[in-house]
Amino acid sequence: EARRRAEQEAAISEAVVQFLNDDLFAGSVEGDGLPGEITVSELFERARTRVEDRFARQPLVEAAIRQALATSLHTLGQYGAAFQESERAFNLRTEALGPDAEATLESMSLHAWLGRYHWDAARCTAVAEETVRRATTSLGRDHPITISAMSRLAWIHYSNRVPHEEIQPLIIETVELARRQPEADPQTFIRSLHLHGRVVRTADREDRFREALDFAQETLGPDHPWSINALGVLAGYLHDAEHNLEEARTLAATALQKHIRLFGDAHPNSIVHRKNLKLICWRLKRWDEGLFHELRHFQLGGREAPSLEHFRHSLSR
């Protein structure tokens, strides 16, 4: 049974890679080899149509592709499309595998996470809590999917302004489990360290943010979106703590530069990085620099669509 399942998972992974390389990006490069002017929205519509046509009788392959699309679209700030893909992946896996299968719980966890942008706080919390309960029962508390679901639930509580003392036991346990689990998703550990630093107010809390940055750069590379985010998060902490503000400015400026290079000036996270840098400049009385970022922030009232290369980068991670 274990061998059959491993072979099935390998076949699904191979089909996903083939789809992304041969179908999704086919024809996206024009005459002279330069990327075509294809927006993420157009790419998403192409992907959705091709998945439905090609994998109508292969629900697990379709689900895996939609799971990958959901994750990538979320990274690119396309929250509505990401939520739709995660919902379809979750439904397909539930029908094919049952509600407590590992893959189903993986999709349920992502769907609850993306539900932050579409559901009210009560529903989002309920789905996230149910995911943790099912994953704990079916997979165990120290399974990577359970740990990820716990981290996401803790963040949902934080977003919903649940008192920090009520979040602390969950996030402390999550960080401890992620440290001990070598197969834990690196992004789960980074996300959990960031929340630990926010809600567990010990004297060494700054160490959690620095640990997250070091781990991200070492594990994912210095230009990975999560490493860039970790730069900005540490900068934000130093600003809020009014500590090492010159270092905070350097970190924030680096994060902004790297994120713009990868995702463009108008990506939601690029705007957040610019806002953080602006606030740090004000605190340092760097008025000209702060005003520049304030005016640029004002100019970015519209959204520019990320290019195909941004999408390809996200899918390749």
Each residue's pLDDT tens digit, 183-222? 999 999 999 999 999 999 898 999 999 999 999 999 999 9
| pLDDT at residue number 19 | 63
Closest CA to 233 of 178, 290, 192, 263: 192
Beta strand residue intervals within 155-285, DSSP E = none
Q: How confident is the model at residue 111 (pLDDT cuts 50, 70, 90)?
A: very high
Q: pLDDT at position 310, please?
A: 43
Residue 203's contacts (CB-CB under 8 Å, 6 or more residues apart) are: none
Name residue 233's amino acid: V
Position 81 scores a pLDDT of 85
* Distance from the Cα of residue 165 to its chain's centroid: 25
What percent of the chain is modeled with pLDDT above 90?
Answer: 61
pLDDT band at 18 (very low <50, low <70, confident <90, very high): low
pLDDT tens string 139-186? 999 999 999 999 999 999 999 999 999 999 999 999 999 999 999 999
CB contact at 8 A, 216 and 190: yes
3-state secondary structure 161-198: CCCHHHHHHHHHHHHHHHHHCCCCCHHHHHHHHHHHHH
- Look at residue 314 in the predicted model and tell me its pLDDT: 44
In single-letter form, the type of residue at position 30 comes to: E
Query: What is the rounded CA–CA span in Å between residue 139 and residue 128?
Result: 16
Confidence (pLDDT) at 115: 93
Quote the pLDDT of residue 69: 86
pLDDT reported for residue 184: 94
| pLDDT value, residue 41 | 62
Q: State residue 45's pLDDT score.
A: 67
CATH number of 209-317: 1.25.40.10
What gap in Å lies between CA 299 and CA 317, rounded to an integer?
Answer: 31
Does position 77 have pLDDT exceeding 60, yes or no?
yes
Confidence of residue 33 (pLDDT cuts 50, 70, 90): very low
Residue type, 191: R
Other beta carbons within 10 Å of 229: 23
Classify residue 54 by burial, with Cβ atoms within 10 Å: 0-12, 13-18, 19+: middle
Four-residue CA torsion sign, 173, 174, 179, 181: positive
Task: In the chain, list all ranges with CATH 1.25.40.10.
Answer: 209-317
Please tell me the distance from the alpha carbon of residue 119 to that of residue 116, in angstroms, as a whole number: 6
Structure token pair of residue 27: 């024809």
pTM above 0.85, yes or no: no
What's the whole-number average pLDDT of the chain?
Answer: 85
Cα–Cα distance for residue pair 179/311, rounded to 1 Å: 31
Q: Between these two residues, 3 and 86, which has the higher pLDDT value?
A: 86
